[in-house]
Amino acid sequence: MQARTDPTLELRQALARFATGITVVTTRAADGSPLGLTVNSFASVSLDPPLLLWCLGRAAADYDAFRLAERHLVNVLAADQVELSKRFAARGPDRFAGLRYADTDTGLPRLAGCIAWFECAIRSRYDEGDHVILVGRIEAFEIAPGRPLLFHDSRYVTDLPDAPSPRRPRPPRG
């Protein structure tokens, strides 16, 4: 008898062939405590107006807090931040314990050492399958030198060349 393959596993393996960047999305809980989770389903949507999206899995830790938050910050991880990615991908009581971060002017947790940051106000939420697609309007952003952390074929990739020096940050148009 021939063994049956799992189509979900095969689809997951096929999707893993696409390299993605790694981000940690942060926000604040209703009680003001910092929240964060590792996300690789992140994409630019529009430059005018400046929009991005990320997908929140329904099984994610702090799902309700992220789904209902009106603001979030996307921290784009650098190649040397594998452990940070793992920390925010794991479930735990306080992922921020002992971590270097600073609050933005609006109070969102901004992680140190990232190569880019995007502060967003929620514009739209779409329920699709086992995720919620969150579209944010970029209200502020910054870039820093460094190499990106990527995920490909279910593994971290850290050996890319350095990115060119960033230009001076500027507010988005619109």
pLDDT of residue 18 exceeding 90, the answer is no
Count of the separate structural domains present in the chain: 1
Q: What is the pLDDT of residue 93?
A: 74
Span 84-103, pLDDT tens digits: 999 999 987 789 999 989 99
Residue whose C-alpha is closest to residue 79's, from 12, 162, 136: 162
Q: What is the pLDDT of residue 19?
A: 76
Residue 32, domain member (yes or no): yes
Give the position of tokens 């921020």. Answer: 96
Q: What is the pLDDT of residue 172?
A: 63
Backbone torsions φ then ψ of 4, nearest 5 degrees:
-85, 140
The residue-averaged pLDDT of 15-33 equals 89
Residue 10, domain member (yes or no): no
Instruction: Report the C-alpha gap between 50 and 174 in whole angstroms.
Output: 7
Residue 14, domain member (yes or no): no
Q: What is the DSSP string of 69-122?
A: -SEEEEEEPBTT-HHHHHHHHS--S-TTTT--EEE-TTS-EEETT-SEEEEEEE
Residue 127, domain member (yes or no): yes
pLDDT of residue 1 exceeding 90, the answer is no
Q: Which of 1-5, 31-35, 61-65 has the weakest average pLDDT?
A: 1-5
Backbone torsions φ then ψ of 139, nearest 5 degrees:
-105, -25
Q: What is the pLDDT of residue 115?
A: 96
pLDDT of residue 169 exceeding 90, the answer is no
Instruction: Give the rounded percent of residues in the chain with a pLDDT score beyond 90.
Output: 70
pTM for the predicted model, two decimal places:
0.85
Contacts of 148 (CB under 8 A, 6+ apart): 21, 22, 76, 77, 78, 79, 115, 160, 163
Instruction: Report the C-alpha gap between 25 and 39 in whole angstroms.
Output: 7
Residue 63, domain member (yes or no): yes
Residue 123, domain member (yes or no): yes
C-beta of residue 24 within 8 angstroms of C-beta of residue 111: yes
- Structural domain boundaries, residue 88: 21-148
Residue 81, domain member (yes or no): yes
With residue 127 as reference, give the H or E element that holds it. strand 116-128
Span 100-127, pLDDT tens digits: 899 999 999 999 999 999 999 999 999 9
> Any idea what the CATH number is for the domain that residue 46 is in?
2.30.110.10
CB-based burial of residue 8 (10 Å sphere; 0-12 exposed, 13-18 middle, 19+ buried)?
Answer: exposed
Residue 56, domain member (yes or no): yes
Q: What is the pLDDT of residue 157?
A: 85
